[in-house]
Amino acid sequence: MAARAARSDLHRASTGRSLNASPGLPAHRPRKRFGQHFLRDRAVIERIVAAIAPAADDLLLEIGPGDGALTAALAARVRHLDVVEIDRDLAARLAGDYDPARLTVHNEDALDLDLGRLPRPLRVVGNLPYNISTPLLFHLLAQADRIRDMHFMLQREVVDRMVAAPSSPQYGRLSVMVQHRSAAVRLFTVPPQSFRPAPKVDSAMVRLIPRAAQDLGDVDAGRFAEVVTQAFSHRRKTLRNALASVIGPEQLIGAGVDPGSRPENLSFEDYRRLARTPDQRDPALSHKRTLR
């Protein structure tokens, strides 16, 4: 049975068939509430798989498999694949189309997924819904110690922000948070016509390689997130004013940061140094810090 399933997966991967093409099943209508845009371009799918270069024994997790076009290409190359799909109809189709020994379907919201339930180190891939891409990235980066690498299709504007350099127009909170936890590399762009339905914007593929714990600079995650969020909440102000409620000017200077700089002028390493400075507020008045 497993051999037949493997041959079926390989056939689907080579012909471009997805779950929508399964005999006797009506085409799945993309649902706006889930931000569904199904990848249909065989050349793009092959390019994604080539970028990932999965080995048979890799622990692969696909987020948002949708109608299964990329899933088929991945399943043809690994012995077992985990997928997380919030849409009950699509999850049921996937579960029925594959031998459970080769594919495990997690019918849940990826924002609630605890990677601790899965073996490590995971390789994570997905065509992420635009409407939850940022919180989902933060959710995964918070569990980066369990991840080997990540390959995501996202709105091109989001990828531009993720890989942006300091002092560039795209550089902001997302840039700092992503680059602090991972090395981010933009791979290639994808036009709207590669999807069904076609989105109104271009997409891009990005690779994220989590940084080792010892490379994070012994920084409290909550403190780091708070300093970055506070800074970019007032990005038009100088750091002296933007961070006045949490870091004093003497502390800025002590961390090697010019108080007259603006938030977008600092690298993630600069923000790490700022996060190591003591909170100048009364601890009794400090609110709870979270990564989000």
pLDDT band at 284 (very low <50, low <70, confident <90, very high): very low
Structure pTM? 0.84
Q: What is the pLDDT of residues 138-172, one digit of tens each?
A: 999 999 999 999 999 999 999 999 999 999 999 99
Verify that 24 and 150 share a domain, yes or no.
yes
Q: What is the per-residue pLDDT for 10?
A: 41
Residue 292 lies in a domain: no
**Mean pLDDT, range 11-32, rounded to an integer:** 46
Verify that 179 and 227 share a domain, yes or no.
no
Asked if the model's pLDDT at residue 17 lies above 50, the reply is no
pLDDT band at 60 (very low <50, low <70, confident <90, very high): very high
Verify that 166 and 237 share a domain, yes or no.
no
Residue for token pair 């990828």:
159
Residue 291 lies in a domain: no
**Mean pLDDT, range 88-98, rounded to an integer:** 93
Residue ending a domain, choose from 180, 213, 246: 213
Verify that 243 and 206 share a domain, yes or no.
no
Q: What is the DSSP track for 74-118?
A: HHTTSS-EEEE---HHHHHHHHHHS-TTTEEEE-S-GGG--GGGS
- CA distances from residue 61 to 21, 126, 197 in whole angstroms, order as listed: 23, 8, 24
Residue ending a domain, choose from 213, 230, 258: 213
Q: What is the pLDDT of residues 176-235, one digit of tens each?
A: 999 999 999 999 999 999 998 888 999 999 999 999 988 988 899 999 999 999 999 999
3-class SS at 162?
Answer: helix
In angstroms, rounded to a whole number, what is the distance separating the alpha carbons of residues 238 and 259? 7
% of the chain at pLDDT higher than 70: 83
Which domain covers residue 230, as residue numbers? 221-285
Q: Are 187 and 160 in contact (CB under 8 A)?
A: no
Verify that 230 and 155 share a domain, yes or no.
no
In angstroms, rounded to a whole number, what is the distance separating the alpha carbons of residues 163 and 156? 11
Asked if the model's pLDDT at residue 15 lies above 50, the reply is no
Q: Are 40 and 195 in contact (CB under 8 A)?
A: yes
CATH number for the domain spanning 239: value is: 1.10.8.100
Residue 290 lies in a domain: no
Asked if the model's pLDDT at residue 287 lies above 50, the reply is no
Residue 245 lies in a domain: yes
Q: What is the per-residue pLDDT for 283?
A: 52
- Give, as one character, the DSSP assignment of residue 187: E
- CA distances from residue 83 to 24, 35, 174, 177, 238 in whole angstroms, order as listed: 23, 17, 26, 26, 45
Residue ending a domain, choose from 157, 189, 213: 213
Q: What is the DSSP track for 32-58?
A: GGGT--EE--HHHHHHHHHHH---TT-
Q: What is the per-residue pLDDT for 34?
A: 46
Q: Residues in the chain, how many?
A: 292
Least confident of 36-45, 168-177, 234-243: 36-45
CATH number for the domain spanning 173: value is: 3.40.50.150
Q: What is the per-residue pLDDT for 28?
A: 54
Sheet holding 203-210, edge to edge: 103-106, 81-84, 59-63, 122-127, 147-155, 203-210, 182-190
